[in-house]
Amino acid sequence: MSLVKDCFEIIKYFYEKVMRYRKNIVIESLVPHDCRLFENSSEKLEWQSKNIYSNLIKNKLSIQNRSEEKQVVTSVVLTNVKFEKEYIDYIQYDGGFRNDDQKYIFFLINNGNLKGESQEYTIKFYAQGSYEHEKELLFQSDIPETSIDSGEIKVAEAINCEREFNNYFHEHIEKTRLVIEVSCYRKVIYTDSLDYIRNNNKFIKQLGGAEKPFDSENIIFRIDKDFRFAKRITQKCQKELNPGNNSLEFFILSDESGKLTYSYELYSGKYVLRNETSDKEISLNIFVPQFKTIISTFYGKFYYSLLKEKLNPQDTFSKDVIKSISSDIIYEKYENINQITW
């Protein structure tokens, strides 16, 4: 009987010791990161200003182990997970001058999952000489609000600059440059210029020619197409916590655009780690685009993808057609997950 009692006391001692150490582990912060690979820093800044996340989110936790022993996180649990599907019309523009056919192209793109209306745009073409302030308006194109289906690219305007302006420049030798101003509701959003090469009567545009993969413990929660609510979703893991500061990452992958809300818990065995963060419930707006490029620009991916296509005003390209022309512009919702180190 004494032996049994001694064994019980030993087990009790070690159990209380483990529990005492576990109580000294606290979650200090959680920061969600967008795992989208941005083409450049300006695209990243513009995207972040919209407060929207792509469909793969990295949640980075800062954990403090205030004990003197190594501890282990054995599971990550999402609680009260709610997903509300949203339909978004996400209208962008692209375009630019094509040296080969001398056309100035303006595209409108619906990168969302809902049919939408574009804004009104105006494109003005000026002849300019040696002084910037000496420019003469040659032509103005007013582009009305345009209806665009999800995943559709529409040629809103295609101006043949050689046909429209060559005679004028040939007769006015003091003019050396064609200046293009694109406005949205009277606000200039882009200015472009083309040099006029007089010896061959052509306009010329001089055209110029990632984030590192992230490491993880491969804790991934999947929010699939039909998901709406779950009280608890658990992923097992074995994450060692050294004494002092530690970090832990887990990922959430969503199949659709919508609003994602969740809370979280970390377990060491059956013990829930203390959470000292200010925001214990996370709410994120998720956007799954049709195409990789998610900001409006000139001389962007859409411009280069359709550079060799014959284009006329009101031509439209569906997502399937674009995929057959240039598949690398299509957004693949599971592509980013391949970056994770397995």
Q: Is there a domain that residue 161 lies in? A: yes
Burial class (CB in 10 A: 0-12, 13-18, 19+), 1: exposed
In order along its 342 residues, the chain shows pLDDT tens digits of 565 455 555 444 444 444 454 578 899 999 999 888 777 777 777 777 778 898 999 999 999 998 888 999 999 999 999 999 999 999 999 999 999 999 999 999 999 999 999 999 999 999 998 776 778 999 999 999 999 999 999 999 999 999 999 999 999 999 999 999 999 998 999 999 999 998 889 999 987 643 333 344 478 999 988 899 999 999 999 999 999 999 999 999 999 999 999 999 999 988 899 998 888 899 999 999 999 988 899 999 999 999 999 999 999 999 999 999 999 999 988 877 765 654
Coil, helix or strand at residue 267: strand
**Total domains, the chain:** 1
Position 159 in a domain: yes
Is 125 inside any structural domain?
A: yes
CATH number at residue 161: 2.60.40
Question: Model pTM?
Answer: 0.81
Give yes or no for a contact between 251 and 223, defined as CB atoms under 8 angstroms apart: no
| pLDDT for residue 333 | 84
Q: Examine residue 121 and state whether it is found in any structural domain, yes or no.
A: yes
In a domain, 324, yes or no: no
Helix H or strand E segment including 163? helix 161-171
**Among 324, 333, 288, CA closest to 305:** 324
HSE-up (13 A, CA, CB side) for residue 2: 0
DSSP 11-23: HHHHHHHHHHHHT
Q: Are 235 and 75 in contact (CB under 8 A)?
A: yes
In a domain, 231, yes or no: no
84 domain-assigned? no
Report yes or no on 170 lying in a domain.
yes
Domain that holds residue 193: 91-209
